[in-house]
Amino acid sequence: MRLSTSGIIFIIAGAALIVAAYRFALPGLLPAGILLLALVLLSALLITWGTRRVSITLRTTLPIVALAQSKDRYPLAPEGKEVEVEATVVNTGHLAIPASTIDFRAADGFGDSTVGEVPSLSGGSSQTVLTSFTPYRRGLSGIEAVLITVAGPFGLVTMKKKVFDNYTIAVSVPILPARIPSDSAIRPARLDDGKVRAGHTTRDFHTREYVPGDDLRHVHWPTTAKSGELMVRHEADEETLHALIVIDLEGQDEHPDEHEVEYLLAAAAAAGTAFLRADYDVYVVAPGHQARLAGQRDVERLRLLTALIEPGRVELPAHDNPNHIVICAADDHRGQQLAAQFSRRVPVTVRSLGDISDMTMVGLTEDLPESWTTFDAKRVKR
């Protein structure tokens, strides 16, 4: 609680009148002095009571995401994009609350703190205040606290009180574009038109263009008539396509800095997103985390994972050989060591910080380095 300039004047004047009343035997000054002090005290009591009857709830339009088998759920925001927050201020008491100011204190990395204005609220009424933040660092951040500043009657006293504490928002690295492997040695044969057709047998099939040597008994006449080209049936693999993303954030001498970590996580997120959108199952292994993801619905879980990962050394679990492996490692030598632990028949792509000559010249929020947008640029040769 803080006295305004008017409040200080009232107290000084009231005290002076009371002293004068006794010192100079002027009893008529005593009620006036007491009245001035009482006004300040009444103002303080009213705003103390009023701020106890204020509640604030926060809401965003961000998706609420949780990792599998985890009870922790977070609103998920991308780094570098504006996040709108809606605060509903409710006067739960019966007395009116004067106009007030709302301070939104942003956590480190979530952007600049903001201020909103709330008009006078009668008992039981509410007011919505909109604000926005632009997070610039991945991780768990959000709004650290919300404070309300209320001025008492006559503007004699103001009071600032915390009415909301710790609204956590997970900030992921940007999801940047990448292309999944197109050659059949890396990516098993898939549909020419991107769709699986149901056949009359127990197995689904793809259709593709006829090439010399194909069995003519496999010609698919409906598709041939539709396309004008001779098309044959190609039975789909029963096994699910599976990609493994390995994230190792331990440098040769020390942990990479946060800027370098974000590059590696952005590369992993781009790769994982590309595979998920191509109907691969994706298994992500990172320091302190292992997650199995399937389908486009799990892209947001992948983004949440990039917000939660901390620098450290990854430990490879037991696994079946996937169709493709992507290793994102701070140190190139460490990336090669990890790649050597897999079968020679499995294609491996390694991303390391050594691929970028000058980290300061590349803007992560704009795009990944050109060599990191495909899976053919850096292949392990064993």
pLDDT single digits (tens) 12-35: 888 998 888 888 888 888 888 888
Which domain range does residue 204 map to? 189-236
**Is the residue at 32 inside a domain?**
yes
Q: Is 231 found in the same domain as 259?
A: no
Residue 275 has pLDDT above 70, yes or no: yes
Q: CATH number, domain at 95?
A: 2.60.40.10
**Is the residue at 184 inside a domain?**
no
In angstroms, what is the C-alpha Rg of the chain? 32
Question: How many domains does the structure of the chain reveal?
Answer: 4
Q: Which residues of 186-212 are buried (b: 16+ CB within 10 A; e: fewer)?
A: bbeebeeeeeeeeeeeeeebbbbebee
Q: Which residues of 285-311 are buried (b: 16+ CB within 10 A; e: fewer)?
A: bbbeeebebeeeebbbbbbbbbbbbeb
**Is the residue at 183 inside a domain?**
no
**Is the residue at 119 inside a domain?**
yes
Q: Highest-confidence range of 14-23, 136-145, 150-159, 329-338, by mean pLDDT?
A: 136-145
Between CA 326 and CA 332, with CA 328 as vertex, the angle to 5 degrees is 110
Q: CATH number, domain at 259?
A: 3.40.50
Q: Are 138 and 265 in contact (CB under 8 A)?
A: yes
Question: Can you tell me the distance from the alpha carbon of 264 to that of 330, in angstroms, rounded to the nearest whole number?
Answer: 7
Between CA 230 and CA 205, with CA 221 as vertex, the angle to 5 degrees is 90
Fill in the amino acid letter for 129: V
**Is the residue at 381 inside a domain?**
no
Question: Can you tell me the distance from the alpha carbon of 1 to that of 16, in angstroms, rounded to the nearest whole number?
Answer: 23
pLDDT of residue 378: 42
Place of tokens 């486009």: 296
Q: Is 346 found in the same domain as 313?
A: yes
Mean pLDDT on 87-102: 86
Residue 341 has pLDDT above 70, yes or no: yes
Mean pLDDT on 89-107: 88
Q: Is 257 found in the same domain as 232?
A: no
Q: Is 29 found in the same domain as 90?
A: no
Q: Are 83 and 134 in contact (CB under 8 A)?
A: yes
Pairing of strands 324-329, 348-352: parallel
Pairing of strands 231-235, 242-248: unpaired
Give the pLDDT band (50/70/90) at residue 195: very low
CA distance from start to end of the chain: 71
Q: Is 222 found in the same domain as 131?
A: no
The full DSSP string for 349-360 is: EEEEGGG-S-GG
pLDDT of residue 296: 83
Ranking 134-148, 204-218, 234-248 by mean pLDDT, the lowest is 204-218
Mean pLDDT on 358-365: 45
Q: Is 209 found in the same domain as 117?
A: no
**Is the residue at 366 inside a domain?**
yes
Question: Average model confidence (pLDDT) for the chain?
Answer: 79
Q: Is 247 found in the same domain as 352?
A: yes
pLDDT of residue 355: 64
Question: Can you tell me the distance from the alpha carbon of 302 to that of 76, in angstroms, rounded to the nearest whole number?
Answer: 11
Burial class of residue 351 (count of CB atoms within 10 Å of its CB; 0-12, 13-18, 19+) = buried
Q: Is 301 found in the same domain as 334?
A: yes
Mean pLDDT on 334-349: 85
pLDDT of residue 213: 61
**Per-residue tokens: 247:** 């994230």
Q: Is 260 found in the same domain as 336?
A: yes
Cα torsion 203, 208, 211, 216: sign: positive
**Is the residue at 45 inside a domain?**
yes
Question: Can you tell me the distance from the alpha carbon of 3 to that of 346, in angstroms, rounded to the nearest whole number?
Answer: 73
Q: Is 213 found in the same domain as 157?
A: no
Q: Is 336 found in the same domain as 247?
A: yes
Question: Can you tell me the distance from the alpha carbon of 155 to that of 116, in angstroms, rounded to the nearest whole number?
Answer: 19
Rounded to 10 degrees, what is the CA torsion of 351, 284, 181, 353? -10
**Is the residue at 379 inside a domain?**
no
Fill in the amino acid letter for 301: R
pLDDT of residue 139: 93
Q: Is 309 found in the same domain as 296?
A: yes
Query: For residue 109, is it left (φ>0), alpha (ψ between -120 and 50) or beta?
Result: left
Backbone angles phi, psi at 352, to 5 degrees: -140, 160
Of 163, 157, 174, 161, whose CA–CA distance to 41 is shortest?
A: 157
- Could you tell me the pTM of the whole model? 0.73
Question: Can you tell me the distance from the alpha carbon of 238 to that of 295, in angstroms, rounded to the nearest whole number?
Answer: 17
Pairing of strands 139-151, 231-235: unpaired
Question: Can you tell me the distance from the alpha carbon of 147 to that of 3, in angstroms, rounded to the nearest whole number?
Answer: 18
